[in-house]
Amino acid sequence: MTSIVPFLWFDHQAADAMDFYVDLFEDARVINVSKGGDDGPVFSVTFVIGDQVFQALNGGPHYKLNPATSWMVTCTSQEEIDRLWSALSQGGEPMQCGWITDRFGVTWQIVPDVLFSYLGNSDPGVASRVQAAMMKMTKFEISGLEQAALGE
């Protein structure tokens, strides 16, 4: 079976980013840290969040990460959204509709799992109201989406 591993290019922060993500997500762990020689700086890292393996490289300033690629995290509670949002926003840049670029340049979408059932609702009024409410939010608030779905 083919595996797909996201590959992240950093200037020099691969290990710092990995450590931050492994601390942030309960189901994350370090797989490997490769250095340039015995005493050299970190060259690449491999880590896992959930079932997803990530590879990161300290490749220098040639390329920059941007929001054209983002990692979506579906959350089951407002507490989970708040915790992730708080951590990722430290030195990061919040954007519309639950998107946030962290201090390392990686863009995340912190999304409540209930959003998809609302947007796919068979009642077009529900989907329309929730979409309109969503477009006004930076960090998602589940209660606001629920109120929009109910027409309140």
- Between strands 107-112 and 99-101, the pairing is antiparallel
Give the confidence band of 13 by pLDDT, cuts at 50, 70, 90.
very high
The pLDDT, as a whole number, for residue 23 is 98
Yes or no: say if 21 and 49 are a contact pair by the CB < 8 Å rule: yes
Kindly state the average pLDDT of the residues 67-88. 97
Q: Give CA–CA dist 52/49, Å, rounded.
A: 5
The pLDDT, as a whole number, for residue 25 is 97
Domain annotation for the chain: domains and CATH numbers = 1-60 (3.30.720.100), 69-152 (3.10.180.10)
Q: Give CA–CA dist 64/11, Å, rounded.
A: 8
Q: Give CA–CA dist 28/47, Å, rounded.
A: 7
With the CA atoms of 142, 144, 148 and 152 taken in that order, what torsion angle do they form, in degrees rounded to the nearest 10?
130
Q: What is the mean pLDDT of the chain?
A: 96
Cα separation values, 111 from 82, 85, 107, Å: 11, 10, 13
Percent of the chain topping pLDDT 90? 94
What is the separation of C-alpha 65 from the centre of its chain, rounded to a whole number of angstroms? 13
* Residue among 73, 77, 66 nearest 114 (CA): 77
Kindly state the average pLDDT of the residues 38-59. 94
Kindly state the average pLDDT of the residues 128-148. 97
What predicted TM-score, i.e. pTM, was given to this entire model?
0.92
56 CB contacts (<8 Å, ≥6 apart)? 7, 8, 9, 10, 14, 17, 18, 44, 45, 46, 47
Checking if the pLDDT of 142 tops 80, the result is yes
Record the tokens describing residue 90, joined without a space. Answer: 């430290």
